[in-house]
A = this chain, B = another copy of it.
Amino acid sequence: MRDFLPEDVRKREYVIGVIKDVYERYGFEPLETPAAENIETLMGKYGEEGNQLIFKILKRGVHEGTGEADLALRYDLTVPLARVVAEYRDKLPTFFKRYQIQPVWRADRPARGRFREFYQCDVDVLGSHSMVVEAEICSAASEVLRRLGFNDFNIRLNHRKVLTGILGVAGVALELHDAALIALDKLDKVGRDGVEKELLARGVEANAANRLLKFFSELTELDHAAEIAAGEDPDTKQQALNKAVVGRIVEFVGDNEMGSRGVDELQAIVDYACAAGIANRLQIDPSLARGLSYYTGAIMEISVKDLAGSLGGGGRYDNLVGMFAGQDIPACGFSLGLERILVVMSERGMFPENIGTAGADVMVAVWSEESVGDSLMLAQELRVAGLRVDLYPEADKLGKQFKYASSRAVSFVAVVGDEERARGEVAIKDLRSGEQQSIKRASVAAELRRKLVLP
């Protein structure tokens, strides 16, 4: 777990500010839940590995000695949302669109961009089965990344029902679907042979494994064909490719009911995404599986070229809320990974200039022990005018005070010496240019605002 010094906090708040602004513009409302949930709320929701990574809090009071835990730290923002929706159903709108930006905790082995305490930035829409929701969520996440300066991301899109259809048609037994998806998820990493080996090891029949892998191999050939058909324009290529991929899925799943429904929904999302202006970002990828078992419909993941792993991901989970509410409520959401976004932005130098060092606008220095009160007064006058003012707290030698101001990256130092006081003026030094001038006290704030180009 990490400390965030001022420069870090400013960068994080800049990104969070953009995320909030975009999500509010899409009509999402803020929600916050407590750091700790009852331990039963979390256990069993994240699979066996997830259970292991939950931080558990010792029961307080007389039971402390037993080592029993009754609370646990928030592991993600989705399960708390499901609990909240069940708990406050009567107070929430039919379509509850919420964003939530809070830390979560996992007892994972720390690695690059992976921490035991990290922020998630989630949007979810509850209450609608419409694919408009998927399109809006992808559009909102895209807009966040675009506003932050990302130009090279794409949204990989798939559908759990399509996967079910493909596995079914290939002949993978229903009870082996989860295992098969875990194996397929590694296609990028271990290649066709590696996946085949794992499929067989997990009990998938050789014939079924073969049909499945043939389907995926043929998809990669489409990529090449689309390139030739579309020429140079990458957007045209992507759309041609998506069309070809959908065609191939339709062909493969045939009249498999699940598969057809999945394709129809995928197609609706693509159409709506087109209306929302993000068609060029979408890449239909039938090999995308995503780990969490609660997804029931569309699944998506956003990635950029120079980052292994994703900047965020999400999907539709129509049954999770039912585990708390006793009644299914359709839901679809997307989670942006703040820490990864920050890592990439830092590596690429994507932050606005000066954001990390933006401290005070001006430092008021202290001329002498006797004039401390006057310096305090000057600081207050400048603050009332909206300036961010640091006041040097001691009557040190002036040279030391100026040196300190430089080290703090403050732009201006204001000081009232005996001569200035006699003339009712303030000496202002611009530490960037070295220029110094004496200004009537009543005009100092306005003059500084002008020099700092404040509105």
Is A91 engaged at the interface, CB distance under 8 Å to the other chain? yes
B-side contacts of A386, CB under 8 Å: 25
CB within 8 Å of B: which A24-39 residues: 24-27, 29-36
CB within 8 Å of B: which A273-293 residues: 274-277
CB within 8 Å of B: which A321-379 residues: 359-360, 363, 372-374, 376-377, 379
Q: Are B32 and A276 in contact (CB under 8 A)?
A: no
CB within 8 Å of B: which A98-130 residues: 98, 103, 105, 107, 117, 125, 128, 130
Bound-complex Cα distance A69 to B65 (A):
11
Q: Which of A54-62, A176-184, A414-422 contacts B (4 or more CB under 8 A)?
A: A54-62
Q: Are A272 and B26 in contact (CB under 8 A)?
A: no
A26 CB to nearest chain B CB (Å): 7
Q: Are B6 and A380 in contact (CB under 8 A)?
A: no
Bound-complex Cα distance A277 to B378 (A):
11
Q: Are A105 and B29 in contact (CB under 8 A)?
A: no
Q: Are B35 and A103 in contact (CB under 8 A)?
A: yes
**Chain A 80-103 near chain B by CB (<8 Å), digits 1 or 0:** 000010011001111101100001
Is A136 engaged at the interface, CB distance under 8 Å to the other chain? yes
Is A391 engaged at the interface, CB distance under 8 Å to the other chain? yes
Is A149 engaged at the interface, CB distance under 8 Å to the other chain? no
The residue from B4, B25, B35, B387 contacting A31, defined by CB atoms under 8 A apart? B4
Q: Which of A55, A105, A407 has the most CB of B within 10 A?
A: A55
Bound-complex Cα distance A73 to B68 (A):
17
A373 CB to nearest chain B CB (Å): 4
The residue from B26, B29, B383, B387 contacting A6, defined by CB atoms under 8 A apart? B29
CB within 8 Å of B: which A1-46 residues: 1-6, 8-10, 12-13, 24-27, 29-36
B-side contacts of A223, CB under 8 Å: none
Is A408 engaged at the interface, CB distance under 8 Å to the other chain? yes
Bound-complex Cα distance A286 to B232 (A):
81
> What is the size category of the interface that chain A forms with chain B?
35 or more
The residue from B5, B97, B105, B128 contacting A91, defined by CB atoms under 8 A apart? B5
The residue from B32, B58, B93, B389 contacting A4, defined by CB atoms under 8 A apart? B32
Q: Are A56 and B55 in contact (CB under 8 A)?
A: no
B-side contacts of A53, CB under 8 Å: 60
Q: Are A136 and B56 in contact (CB under 8 A)?
A: no
A235 CB to nearest chain B CB (Å): 17
A40 CB to nearest chain B CB (Å): 15
Q: Are A35 and B105 in contact (CB under 8 A)?
A: yes
Bound-complex Cα distance A376 to B103 (A):
32
Write the chain B residue with the least CB distance to A360.
Answer: B27
A401 CB to nearest chain B CB (Å): 11
A150 CB to nearest chain B CB (Å): 18
Copies of this chain in the oligomer: 2
A8 CB to nearest chain B CB (Å): 8
B-side contacts of A56, CB under 8 Å: 57-58, 64
Q: Are B132 and A25 in contact (CB under 8 A)?
A: no
Is A139 engaged at the interface, CB distance under 8 Å to the other chain? yes
The residue from B36, B58, B107, B359 contacting A1, defined by CB atoms under 8 A apart? B36
Is A404 engaged at the interface, CB distance under 8 Å to the other chain? yes
Q: Are B107 and A60 in contact (CB under 8 A)?
A: yes
Is A394 engaged at the interface, CB distance under 8 Å to the other chain? yes
Bound-complex Cα distance A372 to B66 (A):
58
Is A191 engaged at the interface, CB distance under 8 Å to the other chain? no
B-side contacts of A271, CB under 8 Å: 373
B-side contacts of A94, CB under 8 Å: 404
B-side contacts of A29, CB under 8 Å: 6, 9, 359
Q: Are B87 and A3 in contact (CB under 8 A)?
A: yes
Bound-complex Cα distance A26 to B53 (A):
42
Is A390 engaged at the interface, CB distance under 8 Å to the other chain? yes
Is A393 engaged at the interface, CB distance under 8 Å to the other chain? yes
Pairs across A and B, CB under 8 Å, 22 listed: A3-B84, A6-B30, A8-B32, A9-B32, A13-B30, A35-B35, A35-B105, A36-B55, A53-B60, A57-B58, A58-B67, A60-B107, A67-B68, A93-B408, A95-B393, A132-B391, A132-B393, A136-B393, A272-B376, A275-B373, A275-B376, A276-B376
